[in-house]
Amino acid sequence: MAPATAIPASMERPHFIGIGGAGMSGIAKILAQRGAAVAGSDAKDSATAKALRDLGVTVHIGHAAEHLAQDATSVVVSSAIRPDNPELAAAQQRGVRVVHRSDALAALMDGLRPIAVAGTHGKTTTTSMLAVSLGALGLKPSYAIGGDLDAPGSNAEHGTGQIFVAEADESDRSFHKYAPEVAIVLNVELDHHANYASMDEIYASFETFVDRIRPGGTLVVSADHPGARELTARLADRDDIEIVTYGESKDADVRILQITPHGLASDVTVTLTSGKILTFTVSVPGRHYAGNAVAALAAGVALDLPPHQLADALGKYTGVKRRLQLKGEAAGVQVIDSYAHHPTEMTADLEAIRSATEESGGRILVVFQPHLYSRTQELGTEMGQALALADASVVLDIYPAREDPIPGVTSALITDAARVAGAQVTPEADKSAIPDLIAGMSRPGDLVLTMGAGDVTDLGPAILTRLGA
């Protein structure tokens, strides 16, 4: 069998279209660390592009057919790359092999012990928790994450150990390509409406993911989330894998007995399948993140790691960029950034922040940017209801990402629903007006949350500058 760190022939000189993306840049980094001659292009320059160049990767800015080297062995694409991309068209014309991002990642896991983390929400956080804790235990894992860790400062790493931790994306069914030894399913909900028409399609997709678990492997699945419980029920006849449930439910195999918040952290007490009880610290706030940590703990135990040591190591996790990331404080106001863009994620983050501000009595002010027309069309009402958990919100226009506008779908779907739910909400189309608007709304002790999967994250520093002026 080829060594675990071998580079597939098609990946010796790969070209990545959209190399600056979170998922694409991670795979490119691992390949470069393994010795591949990596190149790629992205729409604009970025810190990610610079980091890749520092590894010897050739990064072109803009998309043009001439960027594709004559000796390229493959072109790597994600589902976001349109068919008319000039580099993709050049590859097809020249007969260069086109590889989907998920196939490239699957190839990197060959010969290793993969942990694949799936679910509608919480994948990045849970994958990151595992990467940090396994690293703290000296296991030198490889990992590929859809966000940048605070601790290692990276979204991916080629490690010399046997464990590979990967975020398994269900949005385009990419997670069907992986063959994990341990799989985690955090929750199952209807999202990605351009690719899934019903919950039955979602369940079928997750069942296919579970089918990919190696014989004798383990599925770690939430006992609290209704969709995850339904998935578990559909798997009742499986005897080729071990199914371990976790959560606060009384029937959970790994049961959360108590979550005690203190500031922006929590102490979590669990009982393991062995009956042993342990308490450890989760250095991010809220029940949602405590549950992610317990899922990571259960997955590590499934790989026969010592639970007490793993629990202590999980306490070293300090967060992921854009996942309740503290950007700074000015004039007594803290500014935190959140990637939450689905109503469940929004609710979880707002509840977590509320529990962290109960002692101070500060208000929560949200700057929310909806992500995708299709998601707003389907879930705009629920997004507005989630914003009712804040003391006041400002809602920006929809960030389109890869989508074209849908007639009649605007941020008004969210602001109207928010007002019906009793929320204080202000629409604002001009991003540049936000710093002044927030400065006028806030007072010492408040917490400002920039929220969404688009470029709303850029507003944090500008708000801090304006508050400090």
Does 454 carry a binding-site annotation?
no
Does 376 carry a binding-site annotation?
no
Q: Which two tokens stand for residue 452?
A: 């969404």
Does 121 carry a binding-site annotation?
yes
Catalytic residue among 29, 48, 73, 124: 124
- Strands (E) in 78-139, as ranges, are 98-100, 113-118
Catalytic residue among 123, 177, 321, 327: 123
Say whether 113 sits in a helix, a strand or coil. strand
Q: Is 271 marked active-site?
A: no
- Cα–Cα separations (whole angstroms), residue 304 to 111, 256, 267, 333: 18, 20, 24, 44
For residue 413, the one-letter residue type is: L
Q: Is 276 marked active-site?
A: no
Q: Is 230 marked active-site?
A: no
Does 122 carry a binding-site annotation?
yes
Q: Which two tokens stand for residue 165?
A: 């931790």
- Kindly state the DSSP code that residue 149 receives in the 8-state scheme: B
* 317 vs 418: CA distance, rounded Å: 34
Q: How far apart are the first and last CA of the chain?
A: 62
For residue 295, the one-letter residue type is: A
* 229 vs 234: CA distance, rounded Å: 9
Which H or E run includes 218? Answer: strand 218-222
Decide: 178 and 27 in contact? Cβ < 8 Å: no
Does 48 carry a binding-site annotation?
no
* 456 vs 340: CA distance, rounded Å: 11
Alpha-carbon dihedral angle through residues 223, 229, 234, 235, given to the nearest 10 degrees: -10
Catalytic residue among 87, 126, 157, 167: 167
As beta bridge partners, residue 98 has: 75
Binding residues: 119-125
> Which positions are catalytic?
123-124, 167
Q: Which residues contribute to the annotated binding site for ATP?
A: 119-125
